[in-house]
A = this chain, B = another copy of it.
Amino acid sequence: METGDEPPARGLRARVRAEMVDEIKAVARRHLAAEGANLSLRAVARDLGMVSSAVYRYFPSRDALLTVLIVEAYDALGEATERAEAAVARRDLRGRWIASCHAVRDWALAHPAEYALIFGSPVPGYAAPPDTVGPASRTPAVLAVILRDAVAAGVVSPNRNERLPRALRADLKRLLADPRFAGIPEPVLARAMTGWIHLFGLVSFELFGRFNDMITDTGQFFDYQVRAMGTQIGL
With a CB–CB cut-off of 8 A, which chain B residues contact A60?
none
Which residues of B have CB within 8 Å of A221? 165, 167-168, 171
- A215 touching B116, Cβ below 8 Å: no
By a CB distance below 8 angstroms, the chain B residues around A228 are: 194
Contact with B along A102-142 (1 / 0, CB 8 A): 00000000000100110111111100100001000000000
Chain B positions within 8 Å of A200 at CB level = 201, 205
Binds B, one of A15-23, A48-56, A145-153, A206-214: A206-214
A157 within 8 Å of B (CB atoms): no
Q: Is the CB of B216 within 8 A of A170?
A: yes
When distances are taken between beta carbons in the complex, the residues of chain B under 8 Å from A201 are 197-198, 200-202, 204-205
Place the interface of chain A in its size category: 35 or more
Kindly report how many copies of this chain are found in the complex they form together: 2
Task: Flag whether A36 is at the interface (Cβ < 8 A).
Answer: yes
Query: Which residues of chain B come closer than 8 Å to A117, judged between CB atoms?
Result: 121
Residue of B nearest to A218 (CB): B167
Q: Smallest Cβ distance from A125 to chain B, in angstroms?
A: 7
Is A197 in contact with B208, judged by CB distance below 8 angstroms?
no
Q: Using a CB–CB distance below 8 Å, which chain A residues touch chain B?
A: 34-38, 113, 116-117, 119-125, 128, 133, 164-165, 167-168, 170-171, 175, 194, 197-198, 200-202, 204-205, 208-209, 213-217, 220-221, 223-225, 228, 232
Q: Please list the 8 inter-chain residue pairs (A to B) with the smallest Cβ-Cβ separation, ordered nearest first.
A: A201-B201, A120-B121, A36-B124, A116-B121, A167-B217, A165-B220, A198-B198, A197-B201
A-B pairs with beta carbons under 8 Å apart, 21 shown: A36-B121, A36-B124, A37-B124, A113-B124, A116-B121, A116-B122, A119-B208, A120-B121, A121-B121, A122-B208, A165-B221, A167-B221, A168-B215, A168-B224, A170-B216, A171-B221, A200-B201, A200-B205, A201-B202, A201-B204, A232-B232
